[in-house]
Amino acid sequence: MIEYVSAPEKRLILLRHGETEWSAARRHTGRTDIPLTPNGEEQALAAGKLLAGLGLRDPLVFSSPRRRALRTAELAGLTDVHIDDDLVEWDYGEYEGLTTLEIQRMSPDWTVWTGVTPEGETAGQVRKRADHVLATVIPELATRDVVLVGHGHFSRVLIARWAEFDVVEGRRFFLSTAAVTVLGYDYQARTVLAHNLVPQLEGTDR
């Protein structure tokens, strides 16, 4: 068992969904509901072993409604999964399906953290969703671990808000597909206990 906690509160675990064709191509995937690739399914299975090593205590599990997240939760062995619509990915509006480099040909220096996303969500709107998720789960941490299964950018927003940073600082927390982040407390201070833990795939050095 991996033990990170230095305070009586339990942990908030973030699990990003496994690989999809679009994530492999680094295409922004918000509302588009696409499945995991075979490699993504292997990643999700391996993530289950990683989570088992954390020794979760009576976990309360929430997932984005997107099938890539729900399938990841299923393959990772998470049960009694509650759907939370607030866990969906950042809405990329007109930039859905494009890579950052493609977007920057139209809007130089654009990033999701600092740029304007036409017909998509603003940083303020995403912050509001993230803060609502955290307000919902924090009371549960007094008695049990909580697992949130979701997406890359929105999970990074959750990390930033947990650490009491503005949304833009999510850019500091790169998160691989099927990776795990462990949030918790050092005494009464919110902290990042472990970040971007990547599951080991069977029979590979990845």
Of residues 9, 62, 6, 15, the one with CA closest to residue 182: 15
Q: Is 83 helix (H, G, I), strand (E, B) or coil?
A: strand
Q: How far is the C-alpha of 16 from the C-alpha of 13, rounded, in Å? A: 10
Q: Are 83 and 148 in contact, with CB atoms under 8 Å apart?
A: no
Catalytic residue among 19, 42, 89, 121: 89
- Measured CA distances, 107 to 93, 116, 122 (Å): 14, 9, 16
192 closest CA partner among 151, 168, 156 = 156
Q: Which of 17, 28, 151, 153 is catalytic?
A: 17
Confirm if 167 and 134 have CB atoms less than 8 A apart: no
Is 74 a residue of the active site? no
Q: Is 89 a catalytic residue?
A: yes
* Residues labelled as active-site residues: 17, 89
